[in-house]
Amino acid sequence: MADAPYVPPKVWSPDTVSGGRFATINRPTAGAREEKDLPVGEHPFQLYSLATPNGVKVTIMLEELLEAGHTGAEYDAWTISIGDGEQFTSGFVAVNPNSKIPALLDRSDPAAPFRVFESGAILVHLAEKFGMFLPTDPAARAEVLSWTFWQVASGPFMGGGFGHFYAYAPEKYEYPINRYAMETKRIFDVADQRLAQSRFLGGDEYTIADIANFPWLAPFVAGQIYNDANTFLAIHEYRNVARWVDEIAARPAVQRGRIVNKVWGDEDTQLRERHSVADFAGKRLEASKPE
């Protein structure tokens, strides 16, 4: 006998148990759950993050700035274990009231530090501060910002939508998997058609649009996210995206940025904390296998 269809109650209860991988930390309330200060290092930027796609955006950006010679972009990267709920400590909530990684503390002026949260906002802040990876020409700037925030808007469909229901939900349900598989493939098709027209998403130059999109699209291309999503979604169809992924993955700053705050996989591809370029010594940086 088939299970009865779910009928939502008139008023949803906050005590509802959702199940799944993040059931122990998901709650319908904001704010700190534990009093705990964040560590602070010596560099102008303090990053509190994890090497998920959204976190990797920022570490790639910082490494690219350092690669370009901007010593003022030196940073300390501290790992926030979201599985353990460290994003709900009082220190982290003070930097990001939304309790999501990444969160950045700009201490360029030690007398007046300030927070920047949301990955897209952090990329724009750093691009404007150092005058890199964001054009000043109004039309070119608009194009780059459009593709940057296209990713910010698209990420939830790929992660919280497709990724959750395909890989993390306690049970597989056809409707949400089909719904978000369709949207994820549409997103890839948008990118593929754009990259058939231009070398990079924003145009001829590498910009924050590429830095924002790469950590999300590259793992699908390499088959290293959400179990066998690469096969299930036939990601091999998007050849222009694959070409773009290969080019960006070969950049030294990208290779470094991708392992910062990484706490899974082979030990020599993890860098739980980053405080100087010396921390990369002995680490394996791969251009051909995006994480």
Using CA atoms, how far apart are residues 148 and 202, in angstroms rounded to an integer?
A: 8
The CATH number given to 138-254 is 1.20.1050.10
How does strand 75-79 pair with strand 45-49? parallel
pLDDT in tens, 244-280: 999 999 999 999 999 999 999 999 999 999 999 999 9
Q: Which of 136, 102, 185 is nearest to 144 (CA)?
A: 136
pTM: 0.96
Q: Tell me which DSSP letter residue 86 carries.
A: G
Using CA atoms, how far apart are residues 264 and 40, in angstroms rounded to an integer?
A: 24
Residues with Cβ < 8 Å from 178, sequence gap 6 or more?
Answer: none
pLDDT in tens, 43-102: 999 999 999 999 999 999 999 999 999 999 999 999 999 999 999 999 999 999 999 999
pLDDT for the residue numbered 1 = 52
Instruction: Name the band, by pLDDT with cuts 50, 70 and 90, for residue 24.
Output: confident
pLDDT for the residue numbered 288 = 44
Using CA atoms, how far apart are residues 134 and 122, in angstroms rounded to an integer?
A: 13
- Mean pLDDT on 119-145: 98
pLDDT for the residue numbered 256 = 98
Using CA atoms, how far apart are residues 123 and 133, in angstroms rounded to an integer?
A: 9
Under DSSP, is residue 273 helix (H, G, I), strand (E, B) or coil? coil
Residue 261 corresponds to which tokens in the numbers above? 């705050």
| Cα Dmax for the chain | 67
Q: Is the pLDDT of residue 291 over 60?
A: no
Using CA atoms, how far apart are residues 151 and 2, in angstroms rounded to an integer?
A: 39
pLDDT in tens, 62-76: 999 999 999 999 999
Instruction: Name the band, by pLDDT with cuts 50, 70 and 90, for residue 287.
Output: low
Q: Is the pLDDT of residue 5 over 90?
A: no
Buried b (16+ CB within 10 A) or exposed e, 262-289: beeeeeebbbbebeeeebbeebeeeeee
* Sign of torsion over alpha carbons 47, 206, 276, 268: positive
pLDDT for the residue numbered 2 = 63
- Mean pLDDT on 214-222: 97
pLDDT for the residue numbered 243 = 98
pLDDT for the residue numbered 290 = 43
pLDDT in tens, 139-187: 999 999 999 999 999 999 999 999 999 999 999 999 999 999 999 999 9
Q: Is the pLDDT of residue 289 over 80?
A: no
Backbone angles phi, psi at 273, to 5 degrees: -130, 150
